[in-house]
Structure 1
Amino acid sequence: MLRSLCTPSLRLICKPTTRCRLYSTPAVPKKPNHALGVQNVKPWSELSTPQKVVVASKTTVNVGVILAGVALTGTIVYYIGSELFGSDSATSVFSDAVDKIRKHEELVAILGEPVKGHGEPSRNSRRRNRRITSQVVEDANNEPHMFMRFYVEGPENQGTVMLEMIKNEQKKWEYKQLYVDVPGQGLPSKRIYIERK
């Protein structure tokens, strides 16, 4: 049975019936692995003019790609932020309308507290974020109107909210009408106006 003990430069082989012999193995120099991208990098001062042009071009392209990615990301974040948090966004209009409904004493008495607002009813009970229906259209005078429908509910009752907004001279949305239709539960349904012009 052979037993061996190896080191980088020495190999010791022992046989049971003979003495151990020490063999020297030549060290194999390691080659750079170009497949893994390991290369010898020369200092800038040792590069020839064509090599400097190639290196500068690669660096310029890489920096350009990075800057384009940062600009694209910034643009996307800006538009998402303005849609979600801007004063003219549908989300902001929805939040303002729900706040007005929560402050309306007659509606709070009918719906009960707390009053919650949400978008279109969903058949899926697990789906919590329901879409709010809104639309911007222009009238015959090319003036934009925003129409929105959503729902409010409280412990006692629920209602359907309709709103119409127009842009004022400062190009900001203002209410033309905001009302809630509440089912009567045995009585005729009731329409309660919160804003009307």
Structure 2
Amino acid sequence: MNPPIQLRSLRSASRLVRLSRDGGRAATPFLTRYNHYATQSSLDSSKNPQPKRKSITVTTDDGRIKWGQLSRGEKAARATQQSVNFLVILAGAVMTCGVFTFLYLDVFAPNSKTNQFNRAVSRVKNSEECLALLGDSKQIRAYGETSWNKWTRNRPISTTIKKDRKGNEHMRMNFHVSGPLNDGVVLVHLVKLAGQHDYEYHLLALDVRGHHRVYLENANAAKKAAAKARSTIFGIQWR
């Protein structure tokens, strides 16, 4: 049978008294063991210190650290970085839209300069009078202003667009044509009346040195002919 609890307590107390009489020789291992464990835990904590996080800046922030773990300065750095990124994206989008708008208005739109140039060249190549001066249509080449430097490409087509007092839009274009027989200059004058969407030919002519001008469109001559026809009544021309 196990001894009573009071008896075990008395035995433990007597043992402690004997240990104290022996000069602490028996108590020393107990204390040393206690100190050993305390020292070991401190060594373990020094061997495995918690890694310190580097402070982020505008250039080093990669977004891995959560917003709640940032200091005020780091939050300002992240906000600055995101603002700069947004401005860069916005500037790129604006430039892209500008390029597409320019290409559409200058190349793809029905009334663009490029389309009007191509139409005028087709008109010249389909005209028998122009082919008689220039030669085979397959060998005719159309280009802009020439340069004195042979290594420089031909310049863009000379084109001007202006509006008159009535709100009519005038597009004037000059370009060169070269064929197996002769070289020439094509003159184009287009007019878009106020409220309309399409241009109408006011003048389309070919000038070849040493030859008379070839008119493919001449609105002034047509107006004069119509006015002359209206002024003639019963075979009498009224002035």
Give the TM bin, normalised by the shorter chain: 0.5 to 0.7
Q: 1:178 to 1:49 in 2, by over 3 A?
A: same
1:97 is matched with which residue?
120
Instruction: Please tell me whether the aligned partners of residues 117 and 153 of structure 1 are also in contact (alpha carbons under 8 angstroms).
Output: yes
| CA displacement at 1:128 relative to structure 2 | 2.1
Q: How many residues align?
A: 160
**What are the residue-to-residue correspondences of 1:46-57 with 2, within 5 Å?**
47-48=69-70, 50=72, 53-54=75-76, 57=79
Instruction: Please state if 1:164 is matched with 2:189.
Output: yes
* Counterpart amino acid of residue 116 in structure 2: V
Question: TM-score, with normalisation over the residues of structure 2?
Answer: 0.57
Aligned to 1:87: 110
> Where do 4+ consecutive residues of structure 1 move more than 3 Å?
37-43, 48-56
Question: How far has the Cα of 1:80 moved from its partner?
Answer: 2.9
For structure 2, the 5+ residue unaligned runs are: 1-53, 220-239
Question: When you count helix as a share of all residues, which structure comes out higher?
Answer: 2
Within 5 Å, give how 1:113-128 maps onto structure 2: 113=136, 114-128=139-153
Q: Which structure has the larger Rg over C-alpha atoms?
A: 2
Match of 2:131 in 1: 108
State the one-letter code of the partner of 2:132.
A
3-state secondary structure, aligned to 1:190: coil
- Which amino acid is 2:183 matched to? Q
Residue aligning to 2:38: none
Query: What is the TM-score when the length of structure 1 is the normalising length?
Result: 0.67
d(CA) in 2 for partners of 1:40 and 1:135?
52
| Deviation string, structure 1 residues 8-48 (Cα, Å, up to 9, x no partner) | xxxxxxxxxxxxxxxxxxxxxxxx8x9xx778986317605
Among all aligned residue pairs of Structure 1 and Structure 2, give the percentage whose two residues are the same amino acid: 27
Q: Determine the structure 2 residue equivalent to 1:144.
A: 169
Distance 1:107 1:59 in 2: 64
8 A Cα contact 2:61 2:78, kept in partner: no
Q: Take 1:157 and 1:103, find their aligned partners in 2: how far apart are those partners?
A: 16
Over residues 90-141 of structure 1, what are the superposed CA-to-partner deviations in whole Å (9 max), with x where a residue is unaligned?
2222122111111112211220121111112221122223232221222342
Contact kept, 8 Å, 2:147 with 2:154, in 1: the verdict is: no
Q: Distance in 2 between matches of 1:64 and 1:167?
A: 42
1:60 maps to which residue? 82
The Cα RMSD (Å) is 3.0
Give the whole-Å Cα distance in 2 for the aligned partners of 1:95 and 1:41. Answer: 53
